[in-house]
Amino acid sequence: MDETLKAFRKEVRKDVYKAIDGERDYQQKWEDAESKGKHETGAFILFMEHYLKEARRLESTLENGGNGVPASHHLGRDVRPEGSLDFVRKVTALGVACMEQNGAPQREALA
């Protein structure tokens, strides 16, 4: 792979991880206040399915047109241009929370 492309992807990934980390910080506030944050893997899967369903619904609407209707709009908050990507961030952070609480199996190295 081209070294320039590798460097670009690494920089983009930093931004992605920053967004996920910020979402985890946000989620943690609610976890600590409501449930002490401990859930089994199955509960996380249900939470993630809920938000993925919302993302699919947004993606299937004409008014979404390229991520135009944000997740926050449906919560009565300010409209943001990211749309269903808000849900992708939430789901990804929920996956991180699940692995924080229930283990993070490593991928086996390719031979």
pLDDT digits (tens, 9 = 90+) for 18-56: 999 999 999 988 876 666 668 999 999 999 999 999 888
Given a contact cutoff of 8 angstroms between Cβ atoms, the answer to whether 23 and 89 are in contact is yes
Map tokens 């206040």 to a residue. Answer: 33
pLDDT at residue 62 tops 50? no
More confident residue, 61 or 28: 28
pLDDT at site 31 = 75
pLDDT at 59: 76
In this structure, what token pair is assigned to residue 76? Answer: 């009565």
Whether residue 87 has pLDDT greater than 80:
yes
Output the average pLDDT for the chain. 81
Q: What's the pLDDT score for residue 70? A: 47
In angstroms, rounded to a whole number, what is the distance separating the alpha carbons of residues 104 and 19?
20
